[in-house]
Amino acid sequence: MYEQLNGWRAAGVSTLAFRAWAALAVAAAAAGSAFLLSYFHTLRKIVEEPDILPGARGARWLPRFGNEFQTAVVRFAIRSLMRSRQHRVILAFYLAIGFALLTLYLRSGAMRIPGQFNVPLVANSVLILCFWVVGARVVIAMPLDLRANWVFRVTTQCGPADCLNASRRSLVVLSAAPVLLGAAVFFLAVWPWRLAGAHLLVLAAMATILVELCLYRFQKIPFTCSYLPGRSHFHMAFVCGLGLLLVSSWFAQYELEAIAHPLSYVGFVALLALAAIAIRWQSSASARDEGATVEFEDKLPPAVQTLGLNRDGTVPLPRT
């Protein structure tokens, strides 16, 4: 067909071109029929099925993640993410950014020398961790079904500190754990185990810091609180992404230099551990505050601010 369109008039070309046109027509008819059948089938499913997929009939066993309340919240978060298409699409958007950067690093030749501890792979592993944790944090703040959060309101007798611990475990399971597991398999395959173990330890400390930063003042149960899109500050994500590109390269270069010297590496890991402990203590302290409560409704600040005065002009005393 291509040669006929180019004007080639050799013997036998017309016969083969006729067969090519016939095959193209058959392929177009088959593709069009398959598209129409799929369209009507999918359209019927969109009308008849809810936004939340039904649970799978296979194995539903999940391990325990602490006490009964923490286990219930983590399992609820896992199953909510697995059954909601909208939440998976949002998380996939953040993951696509990280893996797109990984593709650029692979094309630049970062993998051409096996066993070499290089900066691009270290920097990209940190970037993927950041995008995965931030994406999971954005997803768990969006409700799955507001009609279902009354179950937690009626049955939950735990305070903000318990909810923070459960949310922390949920975010670790949904974001940090997959990244660390994948990084362990990848780096142990391409690097010596000493270098891979050293980087995995640093990556675990970074994951702890990111999880604690993302959960600061997060006094909610995942997938249960109402969400106000206007307060997401999504436009700042691109600015933060550019900053991450610069910081990750500097971080990878500093880690590379620290691993070459054992004392520097010990001090580097100790500094990350102290930062993780300080951020976790601050996050737990905010959850133990006297005015902290579990949030189920994300409300806008009131348009009218009251002064809190009585009718006689005196300030009301706090209730005991």
pLDDT in tens, 291-314: 667 776 666 555 555 655 555 555
Q: Which residue has the higher pLDDT, 259 or 204?
A: 204
pLDDT digits (tens, 9 = 90+) for 140-198: 888 776 666 677 777 666 677 778 888 888 888 988 899 999 989 988 888 888 888 88
Q: Read off the tokens for 40.
A: 């009507």
Q: How far apart are CA 213 and CA 209, in angstroms?
A: 6
Chain centroid, CA 26 distance in Å: 44
The pLDDT of 28-48, averaged and rounded, is 78
Q: Which residue has the higher pLDDT, 13 or 45?
A: 13
- Say yes or no to pLDDT of 318 above 60: no
Predicted local distance difference test score (pLDDT) of residue 155: 65
- Say yes or no to pLDDT of 227 above 60: yes
pLDDT digits (tens, 9 = 90+) for 52-96: 555 555 556 677 887 788 888 888 888 888 888 888 888 888 888
Domain assignments of the chain as residue spans, ordered by start: 2-48, 68-287
The pLDDT of 226-231, averaged and rounded, is 61
Predicted local distance difference test score (pLDDT) of residue 26: 95
Mean residue pLDDT across the chain? 76
Instruction: Note the maximum CA span of the chain.
Output: 108
The confidence band for 112, taking pLDDT boundaries of 50, 70 and 90, is very low
**Gyration radius of the chain over CA positions:** 27
3-state secondary structure the chain: CHHHHCCCCCCCHHHHHHHHHHHHHHHHHHHHHHHHHHHHHHHHHHHHCCCECCCCCCCCCCCCCCCHHHHHHHHHHHHHHHHEHHHHHHHHHHHHHHHHHHHHHHHCCCCCCCCCCCHHHHHHHHHHHHHHHHHHHHHHCCCCCHHHCHHHHHHCCCCHHHHHHHHHHHHHHHHHHHHHHHHHHHHHHHCCHHHHHHHHHHHHHHHHHHHHHHCCCCCECCCCCCCCHHHCCCCHHHHHHHHHHHHHHHHHHHHHHHHCCHHHHHHHHHHHHHHHHHHHHHHHHHHCCCCCCCECCCCCCCCCCCCCCCCCCCCCCCCC
Predicted local distance difference test score (pLDDT) of residue 63: 78
Proportion of the chain above pLDDT 90, given as a percent = 6
The confidence band for 135, taking pLDDT boundaries of 50, 70 and 90, is confident
The confidence band for 23, taking pLDDT boundaries of 50, 70 and 90, is very high
Predicted local distance difference test score (pLDDT) of residue 281: 87
pTM above 0.75, yes or no: no
Q: Read off the tokens for 228.
A: 């106000």
Distances in Å between the Cα of 90 and the Cα atoms of 28, 132, 178, 213, 292 are 34, 11, 17, 20, 29
Predicted local distance difference test score (pLDDT) of residue 114: 47
The pLDDT of 262-287, averaged and rounded, is 86
